[in-house]
Amino acid sequence: MDKLIIIKYGELSTKKDNINFFIDCLNKNIKLAVNDLKLMTKFDRGRMFIMGEEEQLNKAINALKKVFGIHEMMIGYKINSDQMPDIEQTLVTLLKEQEFNTFKVETKRSNKAYPGTSLAISKHLGGIILKALPNKQVAINHPELLVTIEIRKEGTYFYYESIPGLGGYPVGVQGKGLLMLSGGIDSPVAGYLAIKRGVKLAAVYFESPPHTSVQAKNKVLKLAKILAPYNNDIKVHIINFTKIQEAIYQNIPRDYLITIMRRMMYRISAIINYNMKGHVIINGESIGQVASQTLASMKAINEVVKIPVIRPVACFDKLEIIRLAEQIGTYETSILPYEDCCTIFVPEHPVIKPSITKCLAYEKLIPYEELIYEAVANQEVIKVVAKEEKEVHPLL
Amino acid sequence: MIYLDYSATTPVLYDVLESYNKASRDYIGNANSLHALGVKSKALLDSATKQISELFNVEEQEIIYTSGATEANNMIIKGIAFAYKNRGNHIIVSKLEHPSVYVICEYLEMCGFKISYVDNDEEGLIDFEDLKRKIKPETILVSICGVNSEMGLRQPLKTIRQIIKKENPNTFFHSDITQGVGKIPINLHDVDLASISGHKIFGPKGIGMIYKAEKITLTPIIHGVSKNTSLNPGTPPLPLIVAFSKALRIALDDLDKKENLIKRLNDKICLEIAKYDTIKINKTRYSIPHILNLSLMSIKPETLIHALDEYEIYIGTNTACSSGELSNAVMAVYGETKRALTTVRISISAITTNDEINKFLKAFKEEYEKLSKTSH
């Protein structure tokens, strides 16, 4: 008897014309997620089978829990026989180990030449279980244990254990997007939600040394590391923002510091996004959370780019975002206390209803196009990989 | 030189010492400093801790560095006692502990705590029934060593934990596993707290660690400024930690293979020693092969040890920390004073050779026969 994982696709089944593209993408993602394990994968009739040794399968399940597009994983067992006595014996052996009171057997025969109807086989096997295991009852409507038996030409499959997948779309099916990753609580959550809908992310981080520290940058890379398994690795573009930020600080009226700074960040993000052939910018803005995130501010800031800016957590309360961050596992890292670009040079009273006319006028005071060009040209790109590098430090 | 006192301490492995030296030379920054050198040191510190956490399958924040096992035992036993004294004032220890545990218990008795000593059977296994009887609602801690240092008696930690938690789920279980790490497989999830030392696993002296399950609080016994946990304040000794992490990685490699080698050498010594009528081999089925305890009976252990010095052969008395005293473990298992007073301990490691054992047995024979004539 061999153990195996059967992967069921979720929302994908609603896609009609594109389904093959979606499934190909998911299969590729699944293979990437488990490519360090010794496994055999097989695609068949809208499902995927993964076979291997128990320990490897357990590792695979953990890896697949981070793959979007998987609706459900079933733990199954296979025997290389379709003979009724073998099926009966295996079924009893498997169910002996399970704790349940009520059950139901469902049979599928892809081999329609197999004698008997599916219903008749189910009834027969249900009877076998009742006879072999004491105190069990059949429940047609809400069984505690639903045992599915699939009789095929090459053998028989049994499955009854289900592990929920993440759902969503396979990452990449929607093309690419650029996440503005700050190191706070909101932006990693925003990134996660975008990946969930199939957006393959890259990230941009603005650093301002010496006003911001290496620790702050490492924190952002750590956050990227947590997102990486969902995204099949993630590229982080690091922009040195010091000159721009200092120019803003020296020339722009205090109440517009943040507005203009965000406009610069948007402009830079749009360029990176264009260069990587992305479609959208994604960020962690939440309506009204801070002065630069009021609707008026969003309008004044958003005005500098022509591509869509998606704000997945725009309508979430802070506590809702925190809850998600805890689920994803980014919260503990996000709350490490390091200064980032948005927390230095903060004016006491930032404008909450900025005017676009004023923004344009103030921006004439600094040679921002040159500075932006320089910042983008000097960007550092770090590829944060999903898989743990197993290299031992030479001193360790 | 033939060294057969690995349970007292081990030499530092060459590679481990190299790591110590390189870390001292190339990582001069204080891991708590903000500048780039500090960040570099902190990154190495984090990698070292991560490696240990992965080797033991625990969380990084569950590891607290100490100067060794004695400090670890102090921080744990006193730390639990003071942190949970509102729950109760009763602590249980076995009769097979390292002497440091008893000294800590004496101190705690002066502070108003009550200490019980759990019995063991004639083979050195903890008496489970006695343990059950002794656990009360006010019992806050049970401390039982994973492997006893004198006779190498190994305890089933998982079973003991189950018994403790069944009797009183609020009682914590600590195990000093200093003599077990690198010798037998250890699962830290079988205990709530553990003490480990670096110099018993071919690491440097002056470094050890505590494993503390995350939910447990210890009252600190050392106060200072700390970036990591409030329990080990001060500048982290990066070279020691790096060397410890490396020593641990090497020590946990191939445990089975090493144990087989050591068992063969142990059997060889036992076979030979069995020929002497008067000598008693203090070994039960719970003794691990790395530690072999003998009672010389008619000869003073110190005399033999000094005699073997001439051959540059080094064996131990019951434990290095209580030389010349009665062996607690031999007394607890056999209950014979003379037997417990005349013990020597031969401890073997994976780098011990067949040839070394042959030479030891030859020298032992010569000296034993010589000394027997002058004894009474």
- pLDDT digit string (tens) for A84-104? 999 999 999 999 888 889 999
Query: Searching chain B, which residue's CA lies closest to the CA of residue A394?
Result: B19
Coil, strand, or helix at residue B176? strand
Please say if B321 is a catalytic residue: yes
Q: Strand A280-282 vs strand A234-240: parallel, antiparallel, or unpaired?
A: unpaired
For residue A43, the surrounding DSSP H or E stretch is strand A39-44
pLDDT of B76 > 80? The answer is yes
Same domain, A291 and A361: yes
A72 and A210 co-located in one domain = no
Boundary-marking domain end, from A107, A135, A164? A164
DSSP A326-368: HHHT-HHHHTS----TTTSS--SS--SS--HHHHHHHHTTS-H
The pLDDT value given to residue B9: 96
Q: Is A218's Cβ below 8 Å from some Cβ in B?
A: yes
Contact assignment for B246 to A213 by CB distance below 8 Å: no
Q: Is A277 left (phi over 0), alpha (psi -120 to 50) or beta?
A: left
Question: How much is the mean pLDDT over chain A?
Answer: 90
Lowest mean pLDDT among A306-320, B226-240, B315-329: B315-329
pLDDT for residue A13: 58
Chain B residues with beta carbon closer than 8 angstroms to that of A392: 51, 249
Question: Could you say which of A112, A137, A164 is where a domain stops?
Answer: A164
Q: Which pLDDT belongs to residue B288?
A: 97
Q: How many domains are contained in chain A? A: 2
pLDDT score of A376:
96
Of B23, B34, B242, the CB nearest to A213: B34
Same domain, A112 and A180: no
Q: Are residues A202 and A121 in the same domain?
A: no
Ranking A344-358, B54-68, B135-149 by mean pLDDT, the lowest is: A344-358
Q: So what's the pLDDT on residue A356?
A: 94
Residue in chain B lying closest to A210 (CA): B35
Mean pLDDT, residues A146-150 taken together: 91
Task: Check CB contact under 8 Å for A392 and B51.
Answer: yes
A198 part of a folded domain: yes
pLDDT of residue B107: 97
Q: Which of A213, A215, A395 sits opposite B19 (nearest CB)?
A: A395
CB contact (8 A) between residue B19 and residue A396: yes
Q: Testing the interface with B: which of A215, A217, A393, A396 to mutate, by most B Cβ within 10 A? A: A396
Q: What pLDDT, on a 0 to 100 scale, did the predictor assign at position A10?
A: 58
- Of A108, A132, A164, the residue that ends a domain is A164
Residue B47: closest CA among chain A residues belongs to which residue? Answer: A393
Cα(B37)–Cα(B50) distance, integer angstroms:
20
- Set of chain B residues whose Cβ sits within 8 Å of the Cβ of A396: 19, 47-48, 51, 242, 245-246, 249
Put simply, whether B242 touches A (Cβ < 8 Å) is yes
Cβ contact, residue pair A395, B44, below 8 Å: yes
Size of interface A-B (CB pairs under 8 A): 26
pLDDT at A261 over 90: yes
Which pLDDT belongs to residue B319?
A: 56
Chain A residues in contact with B246 by the CB 8 A cut-off are: 395-396
Q: Once rounded to an integer, what is the mean pLDDT over residues A326-344?
A: 86
Q: List B residues 263-322 in contact with A (Cβ-Cβ < 8 A).
A: none
In a domain, A310, yes or no: yes
Using CB atoms, pick whichever of B23, B36, B39 lies closest to residue A395.
B23
Q: Kindly state whether residue A395 falls inside one of the protein's structural domains.
A: no
User: Cβ separation of A395 and B249 shorter than 8 Å?
Assistant: no
* CATH number reported for the structural domain that contains residue A124 in this entry: 3.30.2130.30
pLDDT band at residue A135 using 50, 70 and 90 as cut-offs:
confident
User: Chain B, 63-82: which have a CB under 8 Å from a chain A CB?
Assistant: none
Q: Tell me if chain A has a CB within 8 Å of the CB of B39.
A: yes
The two structure tokens encoding residue A307: 């591509």
A29 in a structural domain: yes
A218–B39: do the CB atoms touch at under 8 Å? yes
In this complex, is the C-beta atom of B51 within 8 Å of any C-beta atom belonging to chain A?
A: yes
Q: What are the helix (H) ranges across chain B?
A: 14-26, 36-56, 69-83, 99-110, 128-134, 157-167, 238-251, 255-273, 301-309, 328-334, 337-341, 354-374
Indicate if A144 and A226 belong to the same structural domain. no
Residues of A in contact with B15 (CB under 8 A): none
B49 close to A (CB below 8 A): no
Say if residues A347 and A196 touch (Cβ distance below 8 Å): no
Both A326 and A251 in a single domain? yes
- Whether chain B has a CB inside 8 Å of the CB on A392: the answer is yes
Looking at the structure, tell me whether residues A61 and A109 fall in a common domain: yes
A394 in a domain, yes or no?
Answer: no
Give CA–CA dist B164/B166, Å, rounded: 5
Decide if A392 is inside a domain. Answer: no
Residue A86 and residue A15 share a domain: yes
Mean pLDDT along residues B133-152: 96
Is the Cβ pair B51, A218 closer than 8 Å? no
**Does the beta carbon of A213 lie under 8 angstroms from any beta carbon of chain B?**
yes
Task: Show residues of chain B in contact with A213, CB under 8 Å.
Answer: 34
The answer on A46 and A19 residing in a single domain is: yes
Confidence of residue B67 (pLDDT cuts 50, 70, 90): very high
What is the reported pLDDT for A152? 85
Of A214, A218, A395, the CB nearest to B246: A395
A377 shares contact with chain B (CB less than 8 Å): no
- Residue A340 pLDDT exceeds 60: yes
Q: How many CB atoms lie within 10 A of CB B219?
A: 15
Contacts of B22 in chain A (CB under 8 A): 395
pLDDT at A380: 96
For residues A94 and A216, state if they share a domain: no
**Chain A within 8 Å of B323 (Cβ-Cβ)?**
no
Which member of B34, B39, B242 has the closest CB to residue A395? B242
Lowest model confidence (mean pLDDT) among A100-104, A215-219, B221-225:
B221-225
What CATH number does residue A236 fall under? 3.40.50.620
Average pLDDT taken over every residue of chain B: 93
Q: What pLDDT does A99 receive?
A: 85
Is residue B134's pLDDT more than 60?
yes
- Cβ separation of A395 and B34 shorter than 8 Å? no
**Residue range(s) defining the domain that contains residue A139:** 2-164
On whether residue A318 sits in a domain, the answer given is yes
Tell me if B39 and A395 make a contact (CB, 8 A cut-off): no
Average pLDDT over residues A150-177: 90
Classify residue A292: in a domain, yes or no: yes
Mean pLDDT of B156-179: 96
B375 pLDDT higher than 90? no
Q: Are residues A92 and A197 in the same domain?
A: no
Residue A55: exposure state from Cβ atoms within 10 A (0-12, 13-18, ≥19): exposed
Q: Are B245 and A396 an interchain contact pair (Cβ–Cβ within 8 Å)?
A: yes
Residues A148 and A198 in one domain: no
- pLDDT of B210 > 60? The answer is yes
Region of A337 (left: φ > 0; alpha: ψ -120 to 50; beta: rest) is: beta
Cα B44 to Cα A126, A336, A344, A392, B207: the distances in Å are: 60, 19, 29, 11, 16
Say if B36 is an interface residue toward chain A (CB within 8 Å).
Answer: yes
